[in-house]
Amino acid sequence: MNMRTTGVLGLAIAGVASMLSVGAAAADPAPPYVDLQAFGYVSCGGPLPDRPEPNSLIDHGWVTNHGPGTAYDVRVWFNGGASKSAGMLAPGQSLQIEQVVPSWGCPFRAISVKSSTSTYDINGGNNWWVARN
């Protein structure tokens, strides 16, 4: 009886050891990924030339590549507004965008800033942001 338990235990240990060695061999470095993160805010500005409104609202937005890989075909845009593209965005680099809207005063404004890339993005959940004043 004691011998049989030892045999099963030895088999179990050998199985775990082979799983660990296979896991270590499969841990090749992953290809460089990107992590685009969009952000923005809205500020109040002065009047625009040739416009009757006394103020303007300035939408500021940008996307930053927080991953270790280079992002290709990057685009950032305001939902229903201006957009800007770049062929590539190296790690740590940002792509900025602005749009100016005439306004009567400086009322509350919220607008979506969104980004995209053709490169694998490890976290698509932070590719948009609601810019507010």
pLDDT value, residue 30: 65
Distance from chain centroid for Cα 46: 32
Residue 9 has pLDDT above 80, yes or no: no
| pLDDT 10s digits, 102-115 | 999 999 999 999 99
Q: What number does CATH give the domain 36-132?
A: 2.60.40.10
Instruction: Give residue 28's pLDDT band: very low, low, confident or very high (50, 70, 90).
Output: very low
Instruction: Name the residue with tokens 């609202």.
Output: 57
* Cβ contact 24:113 at 8 Å: no
Q: Where are the domains of the chain?
A: 1-29, 36-132
Tokens representing residue 8 in the block: 């099963």
CA distances from 130 to 2, 5, 110, 113, 119 (A): 67, 62, 6, 6, 23
pLDDT for 110 equals 96
Q: Structure tokens of 101?
A: 């809207």
Structure confidence at residue 2 (pLDDT): 55
**How crowded is residue 64: how many other Cβ atoms within 10 Å of its Cβ?**
20
Q: What is the pLDDT of residues 52-66, one digit of tens each?
A: 999 999 999 999 999
Average pLDDT over residues 25-35: 68
